[in-house]
Amino acid sequence: MATRAKKSPARSAQTSAVKAPKPAEFTKDQELEAYRHMLLIRRFEEKAGQLYGMGFIGGFCHLYIGQEAVVTGMQMSLKDGDQVITGYRDHGHMLACGMSARGVMAELTGRRGGLSKGKGGSMHMFSKEKHFYGGHGIVGAQVSLGTGLAFANRYRGNDNVSLAYFGDGAANQGQVYESFNMAALWKLPVIYIIENNRYAMGTSVSRASAETDFSRRGISFNIPGFQVDGMDVRAVNAAGDEAVAWARAGKGPIILEMQTYRYRGHSMSDPAKYRTKDEVQKMRSDHDPIEQVKNRLVEKGWSTEDDLKKIDKEVRDVVADAADFAQSDPEPDASELYTDILL
Amino acid sequence: MPIDILMPALSPTMEEGKLSKWLKKEGDTVTSGDVLAEIETDKATMEVEAVDEGTIGKIVVPEGTEGVKVNSVIAVLLGEGESADAAAAAPAKAEEPAKAEEPAKAEDARSEQEQPAAKQTVPAAPKAEIAADPDIPAGTEMVTMTVREALRDAMAEEMRRSPDVFVMGEEVAEYQGAYKVTQGLLEEFGPRRVVDTPITEHGFAGVGVGAAMTGLRPIVEFMTFNFAMQAIDQILNSAAKTLYMSGGQMGAPMVFRGPSGAASRVAAQHSQCYAAWYSHIPGLKVVMPYTAADAKGLLKAAIRDPNPVIFLENEILYGHTFEVPKLEDFLLPIGKARVHKKGKDVTLVSFGIGMNYTVKAEAELAKLGIDAEIIDLRTIRPMDIPTVVESVKKTGRCVTIEEGYPQSSVGTEIATRVMQEAFDYLDAPILTIAGKDVPMPYAANLEKLALPSVQEIVDAVKAVTYTA
């Protein structure tokens, strides 16, 4: 007990030492980079939704529309070799990591040119080259795995960090806290990014979580955390810079609660009856991550409407090319059924 | 070109639905994400969002229409500078969507894609050639050691060989292993490579898999495989399936090891054999050795194997002593059974602790003049059925022995495969000896009854050789 009493103040001091940074103004180049990346994800997902509706994409398809600022801002804080892992709502993360739109879309349609040769689908894609470790369909499993990526970095003695993304729903899984404990105990360089989009499938945060401030979920493990406006890519990036610096410096894990919103249902077959249309409309009209950047670019005179239309056109072309490829690429050869099971 | 807006599917199984409401009218400008219409099925109501920008040129299917086929044209969107005239060229037949039998464009594209698939036949599962055990050079010194020591030596040798190999688990370091299998490893390799974890199986199994996905070679020790039930999701869904799901880009080269099966008087939750459980899963290899030499040679092979390997040990066997060849680098092939003793009258197939009963039964049978052949399976997956079949072709009779539960057991798998591949050679039904179909009782007498016995094996052999 004596030891505990002694340690307590020092620990809480460390936890409270980390404060959410103020979003820094972006340069013109940063704004344009963010605009292009977010727009790519938005247009890609809209096209994926359309192809799903046409029957080209089967099974589950979880769209990232509305949450684009989170991966875009975080990715701008990383350096080469830093790893990313996430759950099943993963198309945006893969595009943000630089994986090809063709490869992702062809995986969605189950074709041989897909990133997993058509054998993984929407929820399971990986890229060794881009340090993207999936793409996981079991809610919360990526948190332990992402902690393992950080374990590997520390084992190898490099200064890379891993980003483990999960949702407000996954935040209630037991293995998340098992991972928090080990990450804090061993001071692993992992950044836990809780994408709080307010609904775990159809269950709102307040109906599923006793503590709805997810940035506080690491307190028992002395893991600092803060809440971030996940609709503002500048706020995300500022938080990302802070968190990455913290983890890279060997200070251990850190939690970022990204307050975000998904415009679409949980999956394609979700009519989203658990929330009002007004709520969705208000987020879209007042907080849209892409519109925010667009407005700043125009207001500051950095881009004209025509400049932005040109970017829009380029992005649409990338997506259209990906969609064409994903529809024309052949299905995997039957011989692929038995490959990649064992090495 | 005007863009056709098609009736979307809400799920892969939806074929038609009701277009309940239009939220845009002809002449309205739309941008991506705008809600155009609401559609309804018996299960849900969904909004149709615009993907492209433009002006609604023509609404083809009026609101309130039932039975609108998926992928039929419901409206036409005009791009900049396009006129409604172009839209007029839209197929008029779509006005009676319920009757629209001609498949829409997208369906055409899809069925073309599917045609070759329909002709495809299931390819044959590849057969892996597995090398025989290496020859032990004449004059090799044999060292008597326990299974426990053999396992420890295997890990130590592989850790010396590769800096990527590390061991993690509960009490593996400072405590020297709950069953002392990792004894001395901390002293030699230090805490970076011999990692004590908290009691958190699900979590540390996932941490191990994550580290393996980057190319490290973790040995994850479970204090017993009973506790790995908490981690089985990570073993099956992450470790076993990642190679396939990633199209071969990354997998989990690692070993999950620890004791499995009944120890002694530890009751239901601590006494269960997992051989059959893990043998069900593609993407895993499952090893369950009996002798110290096999334990050493197979654990070394498992650590070097690029796949996830489940290595099932046994608490009772840890203290048993066997001869182990003293060789620089003694590796045994995973997936190869070992003929433990040659014989001609009956084939006894067992593995792990099951061998303990089997070798005793063989001695009893010899006294009765029955010459039994014993096959130690050693690896449960991939299973060396050819070795079993070859033996059965000679003996015409087969009895399997294991401690696990009887239903869907390793023995029933062997019986099925032998029946399929050597039916004409069988002179009697294959009998499968297993643990009884009950949770393991605590009372000494009941526990003994729940486990297989030497007498049961002798009786089974008498039955299949018609010498009862």
What is the secondary structure of A48-75 as a DSSP string? HHHHHHTTSS-S-----TT-HHHHHHHH
Q: Do the chains contact at A133 and B113, CB–CB below 8 Å?
A: no
Confidence of residue B85 (pLDDT cuts 50, 70, 90): low
Query: Does any CB of chain A come closer than 8 Å to the CB of residue B308?
Result: no
**Residue B270 appears among annotated catalytic residues:** yes
Taking a C-beta distance cutoff of 8 angstroms, is the pair B283, A341 a contact? yes
Q: Which residues contact A53 (CB under 8 A, 6 or more apart)?
A: A268, B6, B7, B8, B9, B10, B48, B70
**Residue with token string 């023995």:** B411
Q: Do the chains contact at A268 and B70, CB–CB below 8 Å?
A: no
Would you give the end-to-end CA distance of chain B in angstroms?
86
Confidence of residue B11 (pLDDT cuts 50, 70, 90): confident
**Residue B320 appears among annotated catalytic residues:** no
Taking a C-beta distance cutoff of 8 angstroms, is the pair B9, B54 a contact? no
* Percent of chain B predicted with pLDDT > 70: 92
**Residue with token string 């939806």:** B14
Directed axis angle between helix A28-53 and helix A233-248, to 10°? 100
* Percent of chain B predicted with pLDDT > 90: 74
Taking a C-beta distance cutoff of 8 angstroms, is the pair B39, B17 a contact? yes
Query: Does any CB of chain B come closer than 8 Å to the CB of residue A128?
Result: yes
pLDDT mean by block of 10 residues, chain A; 343 residues: 42 60 90 97 95 90 95 97 97 97 97 97 96 96 98 98 97 97 98 95 92 96 97 97 97 97 84 86 93 96 95 96 97 95 95
Alpha helices in chain A (DSSP H): 2-16, 28-53, 68-75, 91-96, 101-108, 141-156, 174-185, 205-208, 233-248, 277-287, 289-299, 305-328
Q: What pLDDT was estimated at residue A271?
A: 77
Mutate one of B107, B114, B237, B245 to test the A interface: name it (highest A CB count within 10 A).
Answer: B245
Residue from B149, B158, B170, B201 carrying the catalytic annotation = B201
pLDDT digits 0-9 by tens, B371-418: 999 999 999 999 999 999 999 999 999 999 999 999 999 999 999 999
Mutate one of B47, B80, B199, B214 to test the A interface: name it (highest A CB count within 10 A).
Answer: B214
Q: Do the chains contact at A85 and B212, CB–CB below 8 Å?
A: no
Q: What pLDDT was estimated at residue B98?
A: 40
Q: What pLDDT was estimated at residue B86?
A: 53
CA distance B123 to B405: 33
Is the pTM here over 0.80, yes or no? yes
CA distance B203 to A174: 9
3-state secondary structure B394-413: HHCCEEEECCCCCCCCHHHH
Q: Highest-confidence range of A180-189, B122-131, B459-468, by mean pLDDT?
A: A180-189
Q: Do the chains contact at B285 and A342, CB–CB below 8 Å?
A: yes
CA distance B381 to A342: 11
Residue A110, both tokens: 């189950």
Query: Does any CB of chain B come closer than 8 Å to the CB of residue A91?
Result: no
Query: Is the bond into B382 cis (omega within 30 degrees of 0)?
Result: yes
Q: What pLDDT was estimated at residue A56?
A: 92
CB environment B306-329: b (16+ within 10 A), e (fewer): ebbbbbbbbbbbbebebebeeeee
Alpha helices in A157-248 (DSSP H): 174-185, 205-208, 233-248
CA distance B5 to B79: 13
Q: Is the pLDDT higher at B187 or at A271?
A: B187
pLDDT digits 0-9 by tens, B300-342: 999 999 999 999 999 999 999 999 999 999 999 999 999 999 9
Q: What pLDDT was estimated at residue B103?
A: 40
Instruction: Evaluate if residue B107 carries a pLDDT over 60.
Output: no
Q: What pLDDT was estimated at residue A225?
A: 97
Taking a C-beta distance cutoff of 8 angstroms, is the pair B108, B69 a contact? no
Q: Which residues contact B53 (CB under 8 A, 6 or more apart)?
A: B30, B31, B32, B79
**C-alpha separations of A123 from A85, A94, A282, B205, B294 in Å:** 12, 11, 29, 21, 40
Mutate one of A50, A131, A145, A181 to test the B interface: name it (highest B CB count within 10 A).
Answer: A145
3-state secondary structure B297-313: HHHHHHHHCCCCEEEEE
Q: Which residues pair with B166 in a beta bridge?
A: B218
Instruction: Evaluate if residue B88 carries a pLDDT over 60.
Output: no
Q: Is the pLDDT higher at B130 or at B230?
A: B230
Distance from CA of A255 to the nearest CA of B (A): 18
Q: Which residues pair with B398 in a beta bridge?
A: B347
Q: What pLDDT was estimated at residue A8?
A: 43
Q: Which residues of chain B lie closer than 8 angstroms to A125, CB-CB?
A: 246
* Positive or negative torsion for Cα A201, A207, A209, A214: positive
Confidence of residue B71 (pLDDT cuts 50, 70, 90): confident
